[in-house]
Copies of this chain bind each other. A is one copy, B any other.
Amino acid sequence: MKDFRQDITDISGKISKIGADPTGGMTRLLYTKEWVEAQKALKQIFETAGFAASHDATGNLSARLTGSKYPEQTILTGSHIDTVVNGGNLDGQFGIEASFLAANYLKDTYGPPLRSLEVIALAEEEGSRFPYVFWGSKNIFGQARRQDVENIADAKGVNFVDAMHSAGFDFRPEDQPVRKDIAAFVEIHIEQGKVLETEGKTIGVVTSIVGQRRYDIRLKGESNHAGTTPMGYRRDTVYAFSRICTESIAKARAEGDPLVLTFGKVEPKPNTVNVVPGFTHFTMDCRHTDAVALDRFTLEIEADMRRIAAEMGIEIEIDRWMDEKPIPMNKQLVECVSHLCEKHKVNYRLIHSGAGHDSQIFSPHVPTVMIFVPSIDGISHNPAEKTHLDDLAEGVKVLAHTLYQLAWTEEGGSL
């Protein structure tokens, strides 16, 4: 197959300029000038290559090759065009570029596909401008509700709806039927972790996207003078937090992969050297690929926290504000991609995704699979986000093999 390294460098050079921050990194938020410019540049690239490109009502950009035999079946591939604030130029963007390069190569090499092939630049995934995530993919399935965004605004006070209108887009017409033509969705993405790098793998075939529960926990004890309060008189919330964190992480490590548990934020009050902290707010983030295991583990930790707090005479308030179920990828598609990796001697492994992706919105509706390429040092959402060019090129190849299988072969229809 073709060596995609130069193609990747070329297309990335064009798109990475749009929304580039002066000191490095990218900021391309939904419906901003930079976002409009990027979608416009992509549309031009798609059309120049002979794809039929168009936006849907909300701003998802599609580039289609109509199937010669099964035009009503669409193999969809792509990712999101928006970035986090001062993010890198691979998260989302690489998935669109790779999808286009693979599709374009296949078209040039094998002519029109049997099934329709559509490259998609999804409008939004990150939730970085407005407090709403997956606006792009949710609109595909009529899951994005008007009332969810009607009263939200960005940090500058700009309304979601005004921003959408000024970018030239609008709500999806409510009488429009949901797309039924999508036969499969394939998304290639950087791993954003360092499992592949550490294990020396080039490709990860994603088996599932973790479910996650996020918590805000508040401990209320008593603030006291650090010198005049004997240890036995204290209701020290930092000590309580520490016991909770130590016990819980030990349990999480004993539980083993794929469970992860993070206490990312700790905010004691008054947070000063010579006062026993009478109040501590902290967060907990727990993820697992198995819904039952996630539920069992977090309920056990919640009970542990209540027990430790009670032992110490400390009031505890546990707010579980996020509860997302794990989303499995399509088994047949996982097997298909794995088989293609084996066939083409690609150094791959099965992996789960610890981060959320558009694929988790697609998977409940249509057969979906994700392909990961390694992230150097696991860095992402950061200007230093990087993947070796050889790995990116290998990713495009595996995606091309997959899309060929799905869109150019008769067997692709049975997956």
When the two chains form the complex, which single residue of B191, B192, B242, B353 contacts A242, counting CB atoms closer than 8 Å? B242
A253 within 8 A of B: yes
When the two chains form the complex, which single residue of B193, B230, B239 contacts A258, counting CB atoms closer than 8 Å? B230
Among the 9-residue stretches A96-104, A118-126, A135-143, A275-283, the one with 4 or more Cβ atoms under 8 Å from chain B is: A275-283
When the two chains form the complex, which single residue of B225, B270, B271 contacts A380, counting CB atoms closer than 8 Å? B225
When the two chains form the complex, which single residue of B191, B226, B245 contacts A262, counting CB atoms closer than 8 Å? B226
How many of A's residues come within 8 Å of B, CB to CB?
62
Restricting to A207-237, which residues have a CB under 8 Å from any CB of B?
210, 212, 214, 224-233, 236
B193, A225: Cβ atoms closer than 8 Å: yes
B231, A257: Cβ atoms closer than 8 Å: yes
Q: Would you give the 0/1 interface string for A182-210, flagging 1 where the beta carbon is closer than 8 Å to chain B?
A: 00000000011111001000000000001
A245, B238: Cβ atoms closer than 8 Å: yes
A243 within 8 A of B: yes
Q: Which residues of B contact A266 (CB under 8 A)?
A: 238, 266, 268, 271
A155 within 8 A of B: no
A227, B257: Cβ atoms closer than 8 Å: no
A252 within 8 A of B: yes
B228, A354: Cβ atoms closer than 8 Å: yes
Chain B residue nearest in CB terms to A355: B227
Chain B residue nearest in CB terms to A241: B242
A260, B230: Cβ atoms closer than 8 Å: yes
A132 within 8 A of B: no
Q: How far is the CB of A134 from chain B (nearest CB, A)?
A: 16
Chain B residue nearest in CB terms to A287: B227
A260, B241: Cβ atoms closer than 8 Å: no
Chain B residue nearest in CB terms to A224: B378
Q: Which residues of B contact A225 (CB under 8 A)?
A: 192-193, 354-355, 378, 380-381
B198, A228: Cβ atoms closer than 8 Å: no
A336 within 8 A of B: no
Q: How far is the CB of A128 from chain B (nearest CB, A)?
A: 13
A272 within 8 A of B: yes
A149 within 8 A of B: no
A246 within 8 A of B: yes
Q: Which residues of B contact A380 (CB under 8 A)?
A: 225, 228
For the complex, what is the distance from the CA of A381 to the CA of B268, rounded to whole Å? 19
Q: Which residues of B contact A244 (CB under 8 A)?
A: 242
A273, B283: Cβ atoms closer than 8 Å: yes
Q: How far is the CB of A269 from chain B (nearest CB, A)?
A: 10
Chain B residue nearest in CB terms to A247: B246
A153 within 8 A of B: no
A226, B274: Cβ atoms closer than 8 Å: no
For the complex, what is the distance from the CA of A263 to the CA of B271, rounded to whole Å? 9
Those 7 A-B pairs whose CB atoms lie nearest each other, nearest first = A193-B228, A227-B354, A242-B245, A228-B354, A226-B262, A242-B242, A273-B283
- A residues neighboring B (CB under 8 Å): 191-195, 198, 210, 212, 214, 224-233, 236, 238-239, 241-246, 249, 252-253, 256-268, 270-277, 283, 285, 287, 353-356, 378, 380-381
17 contacts between A and B (CB under 8 A): A192-B227, A192-B228, A193-B230, A195-B228, A225-B380, A226-B262, A226-B285, A227-B354, A228-B353, A232-B257, A242-B242, A242-B246, A243-B246, A262-B273, A264-B270, A265-B268, A273-B283
